[in-house]
Amino acid sequence: MVTFLILYLAFLIIGNIIVFVMYKHSPMTGRLAFLDEVVGGVLCVGVAILIVGGLVAILDSFYQYHSLADSAEQSIVRALFQGLDGSTIVGWLRDSLVPALGAILSPLIPAELRPTL
């Protein structure tokens, strides 16, 4: 679970660095400024979906597929999993985004965890 978290955060940070390096500030006219705001909002929603999808994949790999009898879990993490578990949006992410993330990241995921994605 910690490895998932570290890898996921590393990919997010590397992605942000790549965007920062490639970013070029250009002046906007009045009409394009509105379009810039709309596209920025859509991209932020996409990033939020990726973050929640990664969190769902990490929590599912621990809580849905392992015995918890002798685990040293934190109650706040279990509460987060239980809160997300019944959500319709999380169900959609489990069916679509999480398998896609698993396919993309499969070379980096240990063999015993690949079936969980």
**Number of domains forming the structure of the chain:** 1
pLDDT value, residue 21: 84
Residue 63 lies in a domain: no
* Degrees to nearest 5, angle at CA 23 with 17 and 28: 150
Residue 116 lies in a domain: yes
CA distances from 83 to 76, 86, 100, 107 (A): 10, 7, 23, 30
Other CB atoms within 10 A of residue 102 CB? 17
Instruction: Inform me whether the pLDDT recorded for 80 exceeds 60.
Output: yes
Q: How far apart are CA 18 and CA 12, in angstroms?
A: 10
What pTM does this model have? Answer: 0.60
Residue 39 lies in a domain: no
Instruction: Inform me whether the pLDDT recorded for 77 exceeds 70.
Output: yes
50: tokens are 């990726």
pLDDT value, residue 42: 92
Residue 93 lies in a domain: yes
